[in-house]
Each structure stands twice: as structure tokens, then as C-alpha cells.
Homo-oligomer: A and B are copies of this chain.
Amino acid sequence: MALVPNNSLITPTPEEGRELAIMLARKTIGAIQPDENVRKTLRPAYATDADSLTAAGHVVAIEFATVAAANNYWRG
């Protein structure tokens, strides 16, 4: 299973960097809980719980910090 899509942290734009950050976060969950059916069962409750959504957004923020640094913040 690929944990890092395209096996690279480099993206052309911040938007794609953000998408990568979301995917990195999701792939980790997939590695810890590989059963897709279990993950699908969990989704409705967590996607309607504000604190769960904030916690998920927190992880994305951390992943994005790494992706943004990798791309020198797309200062270009």
C-alpha cells in the first residue's frame, strides 16, 4: 500500500499540497486500520462530531506544515 501518493512531497501548488496533506493523513489511518469496512462504519459518527472533525483537521494541519516546508512554501 502506498502511504505517500507518487512517493513525493513535492507539488506544483499549495492547493495540491493541501490535497496531499489530506491524503497522507488518510493513508495512515488505512495503515493502522486496513479493513475498509470498519473504516466506513466509523465515518458517519465521526463526520458529524465537531470535536472529531477538529481533531482530523489538526492532523491535516501538521501534515501540511511538512509538505509546505518541503516545497519551500511555493514562494517561487
Contact of A55 with B52 in the complex, beta carbons under 8 Å: no
Residues of A within 8 A of B (CB-CB), count:
54
Contact of A62 among B27, B51, B55, B58 (CB under 8 A): B58
Count of chain copies: 6
Task: Convert A1-13 into 0s and 1s, putting 1 for each residue whose CB lies closer than 8 angstroms to a CB of B.
Answer: 0111001111001
- CB proximity to B under 8 Å, residues A42-76: 42-43, 45-66, 68-70, 73-75
Q: Is A36 an interface residue (CB 8 A)?
A: no
Which residues of A are in contact with B by a Cβ distance under 8 Å?
2-4, 7-10, 13-15, 17-19, 22, 24-25, 27-29, 31-33, 38, 41-43, 45-66, 68-70, 73-75
